[in-house]
Amino acid sequence: MSTRPEDSNPAYDDRSTTRAVPIHHHPSASAGPDTSAWGLDTVLAHVGTGTDPATGAITTPIHLSTAFGHPGLRQSTGYDYTRTASPTRDVLQDALARLDGGAASFVTSSGMAAIQLAVETLAPFGSRIVALEDLYGGTFRYLQVLAEAGAYEVDFVYGQQALAEALSRPAALVLIETPTNPMMECYDVAATARLAREAGALLAVDNTFYTPAILRPLDEGADVAIYSATKYLGGHNDVMAGVVTVADPALGERLQYRLNTTGATLGPFDSFLLLRGLKTLSLRMARHEANAKEVVAFLQASPHVTRVLYPGHSGMVSFDLAEDVDIATFLESVRVFTFAESLGGVESLVTCPSVQTHADVPPATRARYGLTDRLLRLSIGIEDPSDLVDDLRQAFETGTRH
């Protein structure tokens, strides 16, 4: 139980856009056994255990209550109102911060809400943002909307060289993905972090494709890691969420203030689903990657494929379909894969970025970075790899114009 000064309740204090409030942690974060020496798989399997001493529940309780009773005037149990802090969400945020080695994580109602939270909190309005041109289509669209409204000066760049040139001028924020979506271009996070620092900018890395099981951007010198948790972190195509993790506690305090003010927090049930998904993250990532490597080997040997893009890790693969295969027939013929626009779940999906995820990227821009109308993106699931390969083989055959 804590007693706080009258004006410290962030739920009612919106006087300034740059105010900070203390990062909120679940009480179990400072209780229980010392787990600091645990390896990743142990940390993941135990996400949320031991958080309810009253019952000894193995998994995290879903606290649906939006309001929490106060023991007395100016007293709080630590929880007042769910937008400000929720016990279920706190357990999740603490786990995510630990996974990335950050000071604090914030979970939001979608990946786009996470990107909005990070951009609008960390880059002052009017400042300059440098972003990759081949970011996720929704992120590109959002930054364009901001630029058109005059909220920011946004420079889109393609490739490490252009990124370095753009950072010879001061900026407030650099936003990259590695690997990029769907071109699988990889960026050196440590080198980019140095360039960003010289330009006076914070570096934010959208790590949706690799997750902390493969890459921990903060360890490489990035200031912010961002996730669409709808993808691998959740992993089961059943929860929409986003994550912002920061290394610097002072940035965390600003994000906490802003998230409470703007309100796109994650609800308790979705927080629970994400906690549940996280427990198997490294198992799933290992299987996604092993399956992807088998599919890549098949695609590279196939006469129906003209280009294969695979960054070497995780389960995302892009390829160009040769002219002899009708793309619509191919997409209608898959049986193990589902033609759908998302990624990172246990079920394999196939996406056509030019008409789905990247439809809002101007065709000239797409053409410049090589996103053709014949490029398909696979999210490789955890099925038997031979079933995945057989499915692609039969769909190529069915789609071939004879």
> Active-site residue numbers?
83, 136, 206, 231
- Least CB distance to ligand PLP at residue 110 (A): 3
Read off φ and ψ for residue 186, nearest 5 degrees.
-105, 140
Q: Which is nearer to ligand PLP, 176 or 305 (CB)?
A: 176
**Residue (23 or 244) nearer to ligand PLP, CB:** 244
Beta strands across the sheet bearing 104-108: 104-108, 242-246, 224-228, 202-206, 173-177, 128-132, 153-157
Sign of CA dihedral 76, 82, 87, 91: negative
Minimum distance from residue 143 beta carbon to ligand PLP (Å) = 12
Could you tell me the smallest distance in angstroms from the CB atom of residue 315 to ligand PLP?
Answer: 13
Cβ at position 177, least distance to ligand PLP in Å = 5
- Are 136 and 166 in contact, with CB atoms under 8 Å apart? no
Residue closer to ligand PLP by CB (options 79, 136) is 136
Q: Which is nearer to ligand PLP, 231 or 276 (CB)?
A: 231
268 and 86 Cβ atoms separated by less than 8 Å: yes
Interacting residues of 402 by C-beta distance below 8 A, sequence separation 6+: none
Shortest Å, Cβ 365 to ligand PLP: 17
Residues of this chain that bind ligand PLP (CB under 6 A): 110-112, 136, 138-139, 177, 181, 206, 208, 228, 230-231, 240, 242
Q: How far apart are CA 154 and CA 365, in angstroms?
A: 15
DSSP assignment of 296-353, as one string? HHHHHH-TTEEEEE--SSSSEEEEEEPTTB-HHHHHHH-SSSEE-S--SSSS-EEE-T
Say how far apart CA 284 and CA 235 lie, in whole Å.
8
What three-state secondary structure class fits 95?
helix
Strand, coil or helix: 25: coil
For ligand PLP, the closer CB: 52 or 341: 341
